[in-house]
C-alpha cells in the first residue's frame, strides 16, 4: 500500500474501495521492515490473537524451532499504526511479523536494547537508511520472511 507513514492512507483507501469484497480477500500479509540484525529464537507477531492466521504462524514457527510472541512493545500501538489494521477493520485476516528479541548467540536483553536504540536514534530520522552493521540472516530462510511466505502459501491453498 502507499502512504502508510502519512496515516495509512493507501490501505484506508483500498479497504474502503476494495477490488474484491472483503469476504473474498483471503488475507493480508504485511511486510513492514525486516530483521536487520541476525537470527532469532523468536518472532514477534503484531496482532497475535486478532486473526485466524495465528495457528498457521505458530505451526510454521514451531517447525523452525522458534517461538511466536505477541507484540513485545504493546505501548507503541504498532498494530494500529500499520497497513494491516485497515484490512483487519473490514474483517480480512491480517499478518504482520516483526523482529524477535531473543537473538541467537547474544545475551538476554541484547535484542530489546538494539530495537530501542534503533527506534530512538534512527527510526524516521535522516539516518534511517541502510547501514554497514546490518546483517540480513534474520530475514531469509528459515527466518521471518519464510514464515510470511509459508503463511501466504497455506492461505492460498485453502
User: Cβ atoms within 10 A of the Cβ of 19, count?
Assistant: 7
Using only the alpha carbons of the chain, give its radius of gyration.
Answer: 16
The CB-side HSE value for 139 (13 A sphere, CA atoms) comes to: 10
Domain count within the chain: 1
Determine the pLDDT at residue 140: 56
Please write the tens of the pLDDT for every residue from 74-131: 888 888 888 889 999 999 999 999 888 898 899 999 888 888 888 888 777 787 777 7
Please write the tens of the pLDDT for every residue from 20-76: 898 899 999 887 777 767 888 999 999 999 999 999 999 999 999 999 999 988 888
117's grid cell: 536504540
Which residues, 6+ apart, have CB-to-CB distance to 50 below 8 Å? 79, 88, 94
Q: Which structural domain range is residue 56 located in? A: 4-157
Among residues 156, 142, 123, the alpha carbon closest in space to that of 66 is found at 142
**In the predicted structure, residue 141 carries a pLDDT above the cut 60:** no
Cis peptide before 109 (omega within 30 of 0): no
- With beta carbons less than 8 A apart as the criterion, state whether 28 and 84 touch: yes
Amino acid at each position: 500500500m502507499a502512504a502508510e507513514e502519512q496515516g495509512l492512507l493507501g490501505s484506508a483507501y483500498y479497504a474502503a474501495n476494495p477490488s474484491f469484497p472483503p469476504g473474498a480477500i483471503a488475507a493480508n500479509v504485511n511486510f513492514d521492515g525486516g530483521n536487520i540484525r541476525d537470527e532469532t529464537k523468536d518472532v514477534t507477531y503484531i496482532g497475535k490473537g486478532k486473526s485466524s492466521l495465528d495457528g498457521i504462524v505458530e505451526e510454521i514457527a514451531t517447525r523452525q524451532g522458534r517461538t511466536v510472541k505477541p507484540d513485545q512493545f504493546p505501548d507503541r500501538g504498532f498494530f494500529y499504526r500499520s497497513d494491516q489494521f485497515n484490512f483487519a477493520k473490514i474483517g480480512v485476516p491480517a499478518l504482520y511479523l516483526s523482529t524477535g528479541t531473543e537473538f541467537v548467540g547474544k545475551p538476554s536483553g541484547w535484542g530489546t536494547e538494539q530495537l530501542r536504540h534503533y527506534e530512538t536514534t534512527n527510526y524516521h530520522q535522516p539516518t534511517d537508511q541502510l547501514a554497514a552493521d546490518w546483517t540480513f540472516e534474520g530475514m531469509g530462510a528459515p527466518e521471518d520472511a519464510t514464515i510470511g511466505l509459508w503463511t501466504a502459501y497455506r492461505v492460498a491453498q485453502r
